[in-house]
Structure 1
């Protein structure tokens, strides 16, 4: 079994320090020589780890001054009303979504079960990227029953917001009826989109949203960059479970 490179272990350790609040936004990290002593490595290895963190948007270097924390993980509440724009804007950050693909295809068995439609039924699929202050924090895939929402793809092309598009199609309210959370490692494609290294920790959530009468209208999968998002569970009687 391959071993984790030392520089990547340092990146994970320092990222955890930031996530745990040991370093706040704007704090200066210890100089390279002290970090090298802490981890028992040379300064080149420390520099490689800090460069990776800078590429991920976690730190930034000031010439002649040192390396500073650029930001902390975004709290992302998981509850009955999961709304990306509201979650991010509430923290004073600027939310945005970038569509990667929009298509209509046949539902797979798991998607059909979640949406309570027949396997092979047409579904609309929205693949995209969620950003906060221009930094990617999550990849997502949303699947909708095409028969009951025939105009949804056009609405999504216009707004890229699921909430707005559903409202334009006559669905004015929906709530989360189930969420599952699973720890994963980023694939090469996921890492490319999220601007992280392949094999970095990510959090995958799967969820089902339904109308007030209990009709499922969205089956969603989201892959969060593990060092940029802290998932929090709100006490609103939503169903949340660990994935397998």
Structure 2
């Protein structure tokens, strides 16, 4: 085992044991080197690894702070779609959230991992709708939501407008475009955060994003049977956990 890995394990164990309390500054690197009987370079590498694991945060001019880990908020696994005065929503936890920044609509190539889902060829264009959602009272960002719509269906329509009117894109699909009662399917996964997601969600180093990918399928009209939208929402995985009831059978 490399020496810096051994020191990483020792510091990690001391953090878990409460020797360095959450939210407080750790000793300086030079002092940690004396505590663990190694060189400052070894301690520096160990702290960098612990920052990648999300256990500490290294701040400019202040030092290394032990990262607090508050209890995660429960995101109940909901298999129903609901509706309020604004339109459809897919979880009671997110129903109060609103856009805290103006939404953006652009057009670009479909992400590679979504090509088979949307049935598109590499390089095929999609309409991309980005929303930053959060608490309307405080402006705190809670979720990033991006919709990808095949350009051959959405470009030049109301679906490519920043404001799609009451009920949003789903009402336009069902009532204006005649795509029938929409059907949805969801998938939950986690992945490393992009630099933009780190910035917008205020993620600590090493924290992944919890991704909920929802596909929307049309049942009527020229788009019948096609996936007409893929919506990918991202949340801070250190703040949220997916919960579900367990029934005795």
Q: TM-score, with normalisation over the residues of structure 2?
A: 0.56
Secondary structure of 1:158's counterpart equals: coil
Contact 1:166/1:172 (8 A) holds in 2: no
- 2:241 is matched with 230
Structure 1 gap ranges (5+) = 14-37, 59-70, 236-244
Question: In 2, distance between residues paired with 1:227 and 1:214?
Answer: 37
Question: In 1, distance between residues paired with 2:150 and 2:216?
Answer: 12
| Residue-by-residue CA offset, 1:147-180 (whole Å, 9 max, x unaligned) | 22231111xx11599x61232243563222352x
Tell me the C-alpha RMSD between the 2 structures: 4.1
CA deviation after TM superposition for structure 1 residue 85, in Å: 6.8
Question: Per the alignment, do residues 231 and 206 of structure 1 end up closer, same or farther by CA in structure 2, a change over 3 Å counting?
Answer: same
Contact 1:80/1:176 (8 A) holds in 2: no
Selected match of 2:116 from 113, 116, 141? 113
Question: In 2, distance between residues paired with 1:40 and 1:124?
Answer: 51
Q: Which deviates more, 78-87 or 211-220?
A: 78-87
- 1:214 is matched with 225
Question: Per the alignment, do residues 73 and 159 of structure 1 end up closer, same or farther by CA in structure 2, a change over 3 Å counting?
Answer: farther
- 1:165 is matched with 169
Question: In 2, distance between residues paired with 1:95 and 1:85?
Answer: 13
- 2:128 is matched with 125
- 2:19 is matched with 40
CA deviation after TM superposition for structure 1 residue 49, in Å: 4.2
Selected match of 1:136 from 141, 162, 182? 141
Structure 2 gap ranges (5+) = 27-55, 57-63
- 2:47 is matched with none
User: Rg larger in 1 or in 2?
Assistant: 2
Q: TM-score, with normalisation over the residues of structure 1?
A: 0.57
Question: Per the alignment, do residues 192 and 99 of structure 1 end up closer, same or farther by CA in structure 2, a change over 3 Å counting?
Answer: same
Question: Per the alignment, do residues 193 and 203 of structure 1 end up closer, same or farther by CA in structure 2, a change over 3 Å counting?
Answer: same
Q: Report the number of matched residues.
A: 186
